């Protein structure tokens, strides 16, 4: 799947991520290259940001509140690990993790040795 970086940038989940991250750390925290990295992951996973998110947090059966989907979250945790192995970059993988975290899907990689 060829991913259009502009489409990744304009997706709702991406915008929510970048704006809440900037609000959290303040103007000092650079986000240069983040969208490109996320787009690489989208290509790797074959999913766009909003799709990834809606798989992890879905409305409950009764409707209304979102519920964290354990299995989907687990699948993305594993996918990000594979992405890390393929790119050889913890930094790149952490950009993807950051995307999910600011969107409400908690995760942690292993501690670096």
Partner 1 sequence: MEFKAVAGWRRSVRFFEPWREVEREKIQAIMEAVHRAPRVLEVDFVRTVVVYRDQLKDHELTAMKMPTTTAQVDMAPVYVFFYADLEALPRAATGDNFRELMARGVLNRSHGWTESFLEEQVLPYLRGIIDHPDRITMRTRTPDGDIEGPSVSRAHLSLARSAIGIAQEHALLAAFDEGLGAQLSALNTNIANGILGVPNTWTTSSPMLLGYHGESRETGGQRPREPFEEDFFEMRYGHPFYREPAVVDRLTAAEMIQPTAPLPWRKDELRALARKFGLPD
Partner 2 sequence: MDFRQVIGRQRSYQYFEPWRPVERDKIQVILEAGRLASRAVNTAFSKAIVTYRDSLTEEERDALKTPLSATLFDLAPVYILWYHDMDARRRAVEERKWPTVASGTLVEVGALGPPHGWSHKYVQEVILPEVLTPGLDSGPQRGGNADASLAMQQGLLAALDEGLAATLAPFDEAGAKRLLHIPDTWEPVMAMLVGYPAESWEAAGQEPRPPLEDVCFEQAVGRGFVRDPEVHERLRQAGMIQRESPVPWREREVRALSRMAELPSD
User: To the nearest whole angstrom, how small is the minimum distance from the Cβ of residue 95 to partner 2?
Assistant: 12
Taken in order 26, 27, 28, 30, the sign of the CA dihedral is positive
Residue 11 half-sphere exposure toward CB, CA atoms < 13 A: 22
From the list partner 2, partner 1, none, which binds 2 (C-beta under 5 to 8 Å, kind-based)?
Answer: none
User: To the nearest whole angstrom, how small is the minimum distance from the Cβ of residue 2 to partner 1?
Assistant: 26
Neighbours of 85 (CB within 10 A): 10
107 neighbors 101 (Cβ within 8 angstroms): yes
DSSP state at residue 22:
H
- Our finding on whether 101 is near partner 1 (CB under 8 A) is yes
Binding segment toward partner 1, per CB under 8 A, in 4-12, 18-26, 37-45, 50-58: 18-26
- Our finding on whether 88 is near partner 1 (CB under 8 A) is no
Structure tokens at 99: 């995307």
Q: Which of 26, 27, 63, 88 binds partner 1 (CB under 8 A)?
A: 26
User: Residues in the chain, how many?
Assistant: 113
User: To the nearest whole angstrom, how small is the minimum distance from the Cβ of residue 49 to partner 2?
Assistant: 14
Name the residues that contact partner 2, by CB under 8 A: 16, 20-21, 24, 57, 65-68, 97-98, 101-108
């Amino acid at each position: 799947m060829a991913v259009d970086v502009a489409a990744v940038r304009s997706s709702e989940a991406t915008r929510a991520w970048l704006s809440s991250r900037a609000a959290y750390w303040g103007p000092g925290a650079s986000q240069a290259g983040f969208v490109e990295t996320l787009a690489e992951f989208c290509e790797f996973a074959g999913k766009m940001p909003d799709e990834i998110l809606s798989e992890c947090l879905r409305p409950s059966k009764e409707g209304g509140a979102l519920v964290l989907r354990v299995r989907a979250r687990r699948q993305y945790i594993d996918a990000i690990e594979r992405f890390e192995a393929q790119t050889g970059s913890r930094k790149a993988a952490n950009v993807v993790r950051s995307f999910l975290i600011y969107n409400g899907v908690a995760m942690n990689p292993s501690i670096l040795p």
